[in-house]
Homo-oligomer: A and B are copies of this chain.
Amino acid sequence: MSTPADPGARLGTELSDAVVMFHEALGALMGLSAADNKALGVIRREGPMSARELADRTGLTAGAVTGLVDRLEHAGYARRTRHETDRRRLVIEATAPASPQVNEAAGEMAQAMARVTEQFSPDELLVVARWVELTTATMREQAVRTAARTT
């Protein structure tokens, strides 16, 4: 089935779990529910957008998005602005993580990952980078396909 050197199988379980756990822990530290955290991810990933757009992305109704953005804004992770030309629209954008605690945690994580990187030669890092890239694309595609099945 899977050899000890098959990272694909491992990713499926352990790394994936660890990533999810860290993500959840960071979300909790930020004081965000899983749903709010997910929405923030959408804004961060896709850049500033209107409330309607965010509603479509998250599958929420317009009314729910108002509350969602209220919470994100109040917690300091997002900002509401009016659209320059169309003043009915909002521009919802993510702001830098405010809390020092969150910055510290993120910084610590970055350092820890740097220590991992340190242990590989430049050539090896190229290999790993290639794998990470392919895997990311695969996970994304599978996420979309899997989501499509739910309908």
Contact = CB atoms under 8 A, between A and B. Distances in A.
A112 to B, nearest CB: 5
A113 B8 contact: yes
Interface residues of A, number: 69
> Secondary structure of the A side of the interface?
helix
Nearest to A132: B7
Nearest to A124: B127
A125 interface: yes
Given A19-B20, A38-B24, A150-B28, A8 B143 contact: no
A135 B128 CA distance: 11
A10 B132 contact: yes
B113 A14 contact: no
Contact of A23 (B20, B25, B125): B20
Given A120-B127, A141-B112, A19 B16 contact: yes
Interface stretch (A64-72, A80-88, A89-97, A101-109): A101-109
Contacts of A150: 25, 28-29
Given A25-B147, A28-B150, A127-B127, 10 more contacts: A7-B132, A8-B110, A9-B113, A15-B19, A15-B136, A15-B139, A16-B23, A105-B149, A108-B142, A109-B146
